[in-house]
């Protein structure tokens, strides 16, 4: 099973979701992330790296941003948008996704904000990944 987390720039939310999902789901699924407006090969924000390291014991420092347009999005079983705007862009740009495109997780973009905003976003992402884990167990 392949899961794709998508945010705007692939610098904060989707890399955090990918890291948390790897920790929670382990080898039960392949996790990747991308952005709808990502510049290729940028590093995640320092705040995202710090939050993941200090709060979750996860190292995302080697992550490099990718644009969703560079992927074979149809190869993923589930595509999870981090907010409503990303959901609408994916629906518009990839009209054939159908049920692969899940509902928005409504995670506020912490980019350019303080560390506590990153921590709040990561905590919400963790809760959503835990819910996803239950959903996937019930699906299988």
pLDDT digits (tens, 9 = 90+) for 80-123: 999 999 999 999 999 889 999 999 999 999 999 999 999 999 99
Token pair recorded at residue 45: 């924000």
54 is catalytic: no
Please count the structural domains in the chain: 1
Concerning whether 13 is annotated as a catalytic residue, the answer is yes
Query: Which of 7, 12, 83, 124 does the annotation list as catalytic?
Result: 7
Q: 12, 66, 109, 124: which is the annotated catalytic residue?
A: 109
Per-residue pLDDT at 27: 82
The residue segments making up the domain with residue 76 are: 2-139
pLDDT at 29: 87
Catalytic residue among 13, 66, 83, 124: 13
How far separated are the first and last CA of the chain, in Å rounded?
10
* CATH code, 65: 3.40.50.2300
> Over the stretch 33-87, which tens digit does the pLDDT of each residue have?
999 999 988 999 999 999 999 999 999 999 999 999 999 999 999 999 999 999 9
The per-residue pLDDT for 40 is 85
> What pairs with residue 67 in β-bridges?
35
- Strand locations in 53-121, DSSP E? 78-81
Active site residue 109: yes
């Amino acid at each position: 099973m392949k899961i794709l987390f998508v945010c705007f720039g692939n610098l904060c939310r989707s890399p955090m979701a990918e890291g948390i999902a790897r920790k929670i789901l382990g080898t039960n699924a392949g996790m990747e992330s991308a952005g709808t407006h990502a510049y290729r090969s940028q590093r995640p924000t320092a705040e995202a790296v710090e939050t993941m390291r200090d709060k979750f014991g996860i190292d995302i420092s080697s992550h490099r941003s990718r644009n969703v347009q560079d992927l074979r999005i149809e190869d993923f079983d589930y595509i999870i948008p981090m907010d409503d705007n990303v959901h609408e862009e994916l629906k518009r740009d990839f009209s054939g996704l159908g049920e692969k495109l899940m509902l928005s997780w409504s995670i506020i973009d912490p980019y350019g904000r303080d560390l506590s905003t990153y921590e709040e976003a990561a905590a919400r992402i963790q809760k959503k990944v835990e819910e996803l884990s239950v959903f996937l167990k019930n699906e299988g």
